Amino acid sequence: MSARMASTPTPEDLLACRALLAAGSRSFSAAARLLPRRLRRPATALYAFCRIADDAVDLEADATAAVRQLHRRLDAMAAGRPEDHPCDRAFAAVMAAYRIPRELPAALIEGFAWDAAGRRYLTLWDLHAYAARVAGAVGAMMALLMDVRDNPRLARACDLGVAMQLTNICRDIGEDARRGRIYLPLDWLREEGVDPARWLAAPSYLPGVRRVVERLLAHADLLYDRAEAGIDALPSDCRAGIRAAARLYAEIGQVIRRPGFDPVARRAVVPAARKAALLAGAMLPRPARLEALEDPPLEATAWLVRAIPDRQPRPPRLEDRIAAVIEALARVEGRLA
């Protein structure tokens, strides 16, 4: 039996992880069907850990103690001695098999701790720092499950995670506000004449709030566009599923942008027919767009990328491939002369 197979979660532990996700993460259960079969088991263990960590911090009365306990559990998982819990054992196996650095799940726990503390974000950069933890880290871990370890593709995986989180923020502004939470950049709101405290006391889709939401969605679209280069460079059996997930999330932004739609009053949902069309389109072959692959990571996600040893050769850039062809032709001409 190979080292990879020996480190996979047991069927019993995976069954417990699936039961946890089926009860509290229907969106993951649906998205898992888009993944190649080889990724479904490790992804199930990863998302079960995410679910447990989120619930532990969000639902426990003492969030600080919950965070400390999560870090102790994570230390045990990283050391290969997980606590006697099926999700701990499953994620420990995945961490070992795919060489997931402790910094990535620890970043996720830190982001959940920020949620529990009710932290607010003054600038877009501050919001990037939050999104890097709760979503960019997950994007990086998913990339590792696909055996992607080079910096350019990891940077694009983090871009996709951050873009999805920004979309989540725009979709959930009403629900968050009713819980006393606000994630929109406070300086953008004040530029629009919206006082965050007053708005939280009586949330509504004011014109200034709408403009901030549109601005944040436009920024997310830029990141979705950059992430396409990373998707094009993924292993071939992973591209369609990840592209479908990206397009479904980006489409939530299009629903929010529709004239008259009020995301404070109701949650944006992509209609079933539109979902089907997006899924079908994601499965179609398309020319690769690798121009943005070498763009630097977001400043807020660069430390996540650096935490992962780069052990794979980077996909050659177009200009490098052209130069190699010219050099080979020159050598041939030299031999024929």
- As for how many domains the chain has, the answer is 2
Same domain as 241, residue 124:
yes
Residues of the chain scoring pLDDT < 50:
1-6, 313-321, 323-324, 328, 331-332, 335-336
**Do residues 224 and 310 share a domain?**
yes
Helices (H), the chain: 3-6, 11-24, 26-32, 37-59, 63-78, 86-97, 103-116, 124-131, 137-145, 151-171, 173-178, 186-191, 196-201, 207-232, 236-257, 272-283, 302-306, 318-336
pLDDT of residue 61: 83
Please say which residue of 103, 135, 166 terminates a domain. 103
Supply 258's token pair: 């529709």
Are 148 and 258 members of one domain? yes
CA distance 279 to 89: 33
Query: Which has the closest alpha carbon to 41: 69, 62, 12, 65?
Result: 12
Q: Residue 5 has what pLDDT?
A: 35
Same domain, 166 and 313: yes
Judgement on whether residues 204 and 168 belong to the same structural domain of the protein? yes
Domain limit, last residue, from 57, 74, 103: 103
Tell me whether residue 272 is in a domain.
Answer: yes
Residue 24: what pLDDT? 63
Residue 126, pLDDT score:
98
Residue 266 to residue 173: CA distance in whole angstroms: 9
- pLDDT at position 225 is 95
Which of 68, 103, 138 is the endpoint of a domain? 103
* Same structural domain, 48 and 129: no
CATH code at position 10: 1.10.600.10
Q: Note down the domain range covering 259.
A: 120-325
Q: Are 214 and 89 in a shared domain?
A: no
Residues 76, 217 share a domain: no
Residue 72 lies in a domain: yes
| Residue 108, domain member (yes or no) | no
* C-alpha gyration radius of the chain: 21
DSSP code at position 266? S
Separation in Å, CA 313 to CA 90, 98, 157, 167, 317: 29, 17, 17, 32, 12
User: Do residue 98 and residue 127 come from a single domain?
Assistant: no
Under DSSP, the state recorded for 133 is I
Q: Are residues 10 and 139 in the same domain?
A: no
Query: Quick check: is 113 in a domain?
Result: no
Count of CB atoms situated within 10 Å of the CB of 301: 28
Residue 335 lies in a domain: no
Q: What pLDDT was estimated at residue 4? A: 40
pLDDT of residue 280: 86
Output the pLDDT for position 313. 47
Q: Is 304 within the bounds of a domain?
A: yes
What pLDDT score was predicted for residue 59? 83
pLDDT at 135: 97
The token duo for 192 is: 């629009």
Q: Which two tokens stand for residue 278?
A: 């997006």
Inside any domain, residue 337 = no
Q: 56 near 47, Cβ under 8 Å?
A: no
Q: How far is Cα 184 from Cα 170, in angstroms, rounded to an integer? A: 8
- Would you tell me how many other CB atoms lie within 10 Å of the CB of residue 61? 6
| Cβ 268 vs Cβ 252: under 8 Å | yes
* 35 and 178 assigned to the same domain: no
- Statement to judge: residues 60 and 159 lie in one domain: no
> How far apart, in whole angstroms, are the C-alpha atoms of residue 146 and residue 98?
9
* Rounded alpha-carbon distances, angstroms, from residue 31 to 5, 43, 47, 131, 145: 24, 10, 11, 20, 15
pLDDT for res 314? 47
Residue 151 covered by a domain = yes
Q: What's the pTM value of the predicted model, to 2 decimals?
A: 0.87
